[in-house]
Structures are given as structure tokens and as C-alpha cells.
Amino acid sequence: MLRVFLIVLFFLIIGTTALCAGAEPKVEVFPPASYDRHIIYQALIFFWIGIIGLVVIIAMKLREIKRVQKMGIDEEEGNVPFLD
Amino acid sequence: METLGALARSKTVPSHRFDVWYFAGGLTLFLFVFQFITGMALALYYVPHAEHAHKSIVDIVTKLNMGWLFRSLHHWGAQLAILVLFAHVFSTLLLKAYRKPRELVWLTGFVMLAISIFFGLSGYFLLWDERAFAAVRVATGGAGNLPLVGWVIKGFLRGGLDVTGETLTRFYAFHVAILPLVTIAVAGLHILLVQIHGMSVPLSQERKQGGPEPFFPNLFYKDLIVWLVCLGVVVTLAVLLPPEIGRKADPLAPAPENIKPEWYFLFLFQTLKLFPGEMLGMNGETIAIVIISAAILFFFLIPFFDRRSAMGQRSPLFTWIGTFYLVYFTVMTVIGFLT
């Protein structure tokens, strides 16, 4: 009985070792700690707020440029007299 | 600098119904610069040796501060650069922007697309995992099926009979030295030619277009907005979907099951599947490669075949041909992705 148990145990150990050798642990491609994840997602939200802010500023600037261009006062005249 | 400033102030861009496609070129340039910057950061830590390549990437991702982000940004930047480049090429094709006198602009743009795809393949291989190894073995094997010159290309790319550590060294040299230099030269020529010829206006819009818009500051600010949004998209993708790292490649192991190439090779992969192993007593794959090469060559030389567009006349046949190319590419890519 003991002999059968030892043989089964032997094959179990060998089998488990072989299985573990084949399955390499998966590489963590993203920080696993929940605190780090929280910081990263928070930074992503701030990043988007920054981008949206910049887009709004540029769009406003562009609108102003177009308004000035439409009025025709954006170009320098060639024969403007010097004030000095 | 003053000359450049004067050039920017004097440059105008046509405005019409399809002018949104003009942004694709600038966006591609932005993504290329982005790839150069993130790639330089990664190159500081990557070890181009078969024994250490995989481990160096695992170390970059798991041990370096923000290493995972830089790798992910580089990965998603590459995907978007190729996607935008395809959009740029197909919009140029369908709007007939390749027509005389812009043939050379088209040719240099096409070379840029080929370079980008090779950038993608060589960069993918540097990971040195099972999937990348199998993908490069299939891709270089496919190139080897070209009649007459196939064996030379295959041997040159692999640096030997099979994919080995020699191939990794070669692909590293291509990825970080040869291709960037060629890219700078070809992209420089492409941009110079665009400045010389100006932006192309589609034939259908020549009489409908509005007044030209100054490049600086109007178009420059619009470009900035597009680049900022694109940057946001790349960063979001990099954070939410960081690319996986597979098991280290074993040259002696069989290829893993159900592997697929990168999405921009899927249409080729699906086309190869359509052909049987043997046709008319010849190798089916060789016939497929010859047909695909002929189709790509026709695509490359399309400005010289489309004579009507060159004379300023409408050419519906080439619109249909362009649509066929686009639909075929999209459908085959989607089928390859889903199956």
C-alpha cells in the first residue's frame, strides 16, 4: 500500500514540476499595485483636462485671428509713414 | 529662420469639401517624431542580443520608472502612425492627388508606407517572443517565395538560412539606424515636393473651392489641435491597453497555434489563405506572392497609368480601382481580425 502511495506521489511531484516549468508567470505590463493604478488613472484624467484646455485656448485664438483677418486689419501696409 | 518664417507666412492651403484630408500628412509627421522620441528612450535600455533582448524588455516594463509607459506609447504610436499613413495614402488615391505634376510626391509617399511597415515588422521582432519570432519567420519566408530574387531578399533579411540571433542584430540595425535615416531623407524629399507643388485640389472641387487659407497661423493652429487630440488618444491607449509580452522565443520550438500577424499584414495573410497549396503544377504561395507583388507594383505606379487624370479629366475607372483597393484591404483585414 505504501509502495503504491509513494509511486503515485512520485508521479504527482514530477507532473506538477513539469507543469510549473512549462507555465511561465505572465509579465505584468502595467503597475500591479492598486495605489499606482489609481495615480496613473488620475494623471490620465488631468492630462485630458490639460489637452481640452489647450484645444479650447487654441480654438479661441484661431477664432480671434479669423475675425481680424475678416476685418482686413491683419496685414501691414507697405507705405505706412513712420511716426518718429 | 527668417526665410522659413517668410515661407510659412506666404504659404496658403486651398479650402474645399475634402480639405480635412490635408491633416493626415501633418499627423503622420507628428506621429513619426513621437516614435523617434519614445524609440530613443527605449533604445537606451534595450539589449539587441538573442539571449538578453526579451529580458531587457521585461526589465524596461517591470523595473524602470515609467518604462511600461514608454514601451506602450511606442507600440500605440506605431499602430496609429501606420493607420494614419494608410488613411493618407488612400485619401490621396481617391482624390487623385497623385496626378501630374505630383507623381514623385506619390512615389515618395508610397516608399514611406513601405518603410513604415518594415519599421513595424522590425520593431515587433525586437521583442524576441514566440509570436514575433513566428511572424518574422512567416514574413521573411513569404518574401523568399518571390521568383528569382526571393532567396536573396530572404537571406539578406535573415542573415542566414533561418531566423536566428543574426536576424535580430540585422533587424535592430534596420530599426534604429538604417530605416530612420532613410525615413528622414524620403520624408524630407516628400515635404519639399509638397512645398514646391502646393496642395492638390481634387478635380471635382476646382470650381467649387473657397478662397485659400493662410498656412500660418490658421492651418498651423488647426494642426496643433489635431496633434494634441492624437497625443491624448495615444496616451489613453497606452495606459488602458498596454501591449502584452509573450514567452521568450525558442528557435527550436514549433510555432504557437493560432498566431496572427500585426493588423497591417492581415490582408496579405488572408489573401495567402485563398490560394491552395498547389496550382497549375506550381507552388500556390509563389503564385499568390507574384499576384500580390504585381498588385502592389500597379498601386505604386498608378499615376503613370491614370492618363486621364494627368490631363485634368475625370477618370472614373481609377476611382473604382482605388475603391476596390480600399474595400479589399478593409474587408480582408476585418476578416483576418475576426477569424
Summarize pLDDT for B133-143 with one digit per residue, the tens. Answer: 999 998 898 88
Nearest residue on chain A to B247, alpha-carbon basis: A24
- Global pTM value: 0.89
Q: Does domain B2-258 have CATH number 1.10.230.10?
A: no
Question: Does the beta-carbon distance from B229 to A58 stay under 8 Å?
Answer: no
H or E, element range at B213: strand B213-214
- Ramachandran assignment for B114, one of left (phi > 0), alpha (psi -120 to 50 degrees), beta (any other): alpha
Question: Does the beta-carbon distance from A65 to B68 stay under 8 Å?
Answer: no
Cα angle: B203, vertex B204, B210; to 5 degrees = 95
Nearest residue on chain A to B64, alpha-carbon basis: A31
Mean pLDDT calculated for residue range B85-109: 95
Cα(B120)–Cα(B124) distance, rounded to whole angstroms? 6
pLDDT at residue B286 tops 70:
yes
Summarize pLDDT for B260-273 with one digit per residue, the tens. Answer: 889 999 999 899 88
Q: Which three cell numbers stand for residue B138?
A: 512567416
Q: How many Cβ contacts (< 8 angstroms) between chains A and B? A: 54
Q: What integer pLDDT is reported at residue A12 of this predicted model? A: 67
> Nearest CB to B228: which of A40, A44, A54?
A54
The CB-based long-range contact list for A37-42 (8 Å cut-off, 24+ gap) reads A40/B239, A41/B239
- Chain A residues touching B244 at Cβ < 8 A: 26-27, 29
Q: Kindly report the number of other CB atoms within 10 A of residue B271's CB atom.
A: 17
In chain A, which residues touch B (CB < 8 A)? 24, 26-31, 40-41, 44, 47-48, 51, 54-55, 58-59, 61-62, 65-66, 69
Q: What integer pLDDT is reported at residue A17 of this predicted model? A: 54
Residue A5, CA distances (Å) to A10, A14, B163 in order: 9, 14, 48
> Nearest CB to A27: which of B62, B72, B214?
B62
Find the range with the poorest average confidence among B127-131, B144-148, B296-300.
Answer: B144-148
User: pLDDT grade, residue B208 (50/70/90)?
Assistant: confident
- For chain A, the domains span 33-73
Best mean pLDDT range from B11-20, B25-34, B145-154, B244-253: B25-34
Question: Does the beta-carbon distance from A27 to B224 stay under 8 Å?
Answer: no
| Beta carbons of B120 and B212 less than 8 angstroms apart | no
> Nearest CB to B225: which of A41, A59, A65?
A59
pLDDT at residue A16 tops 70:
no
Interface confidence, given as ipTM, is: 0.87
- For chain B, the domains span 2-258
